[in-house]
A = this chain, B = another copy of it.
Amino acid sequence: MVMLPPAKPRSARPRPRRPSISDPTRERLIDCAGPIFADRGFQATTIREISTVAGENVAAIHYHFGDKLGLYSEVVLRSTRAAQVDAIRSALAQQAPPDQILRAVIRARLQSLNRRDLPDWHFRILLHEFASPTPALGQVVEHVGRPIFLRVLDLIGGMLGLPPTDERTRLCAISVMGQIIAYVFATPLLAGVWPELKMTPEQVERIATHIGDFSLAYIQTFRAQHQALEPQPVSPAARNGLRQFEKKSTSTASLRTTP
């Protein structure tokens, strides 16, 4: 039995020495907890269910993570590190015309929402965090929301010929991201209003193409109008932001974001 130090009478967490390296039960708990938390949210999830699914004892959670929130924070931390940000980042980093980069970002974000294999449930944790914030919300915003949004801001600012901090740039970025999150957040509504909608890969591709078309219509028109009025020096990031409409729904530029 471990004697707990007399100081800190309320934070009695044994915390094994190296919480980093792979402990099989620790990993199993995190892996099983992720989808359950994503389904039910932090509060409605019982650690007994997690421990049952993981085949571990309830006390193991407290032994390894201190308490329920400790496990949840670890899950959120893993979630933020997962493929999402990387996919977006690689989409944003590629050498391509900005409108194609925007389409790739939209497609990557949309695809990550509906794959049933791995990172599917990450976004649902975000949804729960937005509805009922926990102490982990700051982490999520800081590690997922902010970096993606800032990069999209750069990209769109370049396409508009405006600084990323311009209100019009921000509004456009929100418009683009808003169209995407509608398909996660409003899932129950969509089910009631468009029941035939099945998120097959082809359907996701069509949606991504639509959001790209829808967004570029405004962005390109804006750029054209404002460059005609006030010809300011073209920022290098926006050099390709001016192409006229390509033929619609035949794009499929085939730049996948996953290797």
On A, residues with C-beta under 8 Å from B are 40-41, 43-44, 127-133, 137-138, 141-142, 145-146, 149-150, 167-168, 170-172, 174-175, 177-183, 185-194, 206-207, 210-211, 213-215, 217-218, 221-222, 225, 245
Verify A179–B181 contact, CB threshold 8 A. no
Verify A182–B181 contact, CB threshold 8 A. yes
Verify B221–A245 contact, CB threshold 8 A. yes
| Across-interface contacts of A215 in B (CB, < 8 A) | 214, 218
| Across-interface contacts of A167 in B (CB, < 8 A) | 206
A-B contact pairs, 16 of them (CB 8 A): A41-B131, A127-B130, A127-B131, A128-B132, A130-B187, A145-B189, A145-B192, A171-B211, A172-B214, A174-B179, A174-B186, A175-B211, A178-B180, A178-B183, A185-B185, A221-B245
Smallest beta-carbon distance A145→chain B, Å: 4
Verify B210–A171 contact, CB threshold 8 A. yes
- Select A189's contact among B149, B194, B214, beta carbons within 8 Å: B149
Smallest beta-carbon distance A85→chain B, Å: 14
| Across-interface contacts of A131 in B (CB, < 8 A) | 41, 127-128, 130-132
- Select A194's contact among B170, B180, B221, beta carbons within 8 Å: B170
Known: A41-B132, A132-B44, A218-B217. A149 touches B188 (CB 8 A): no
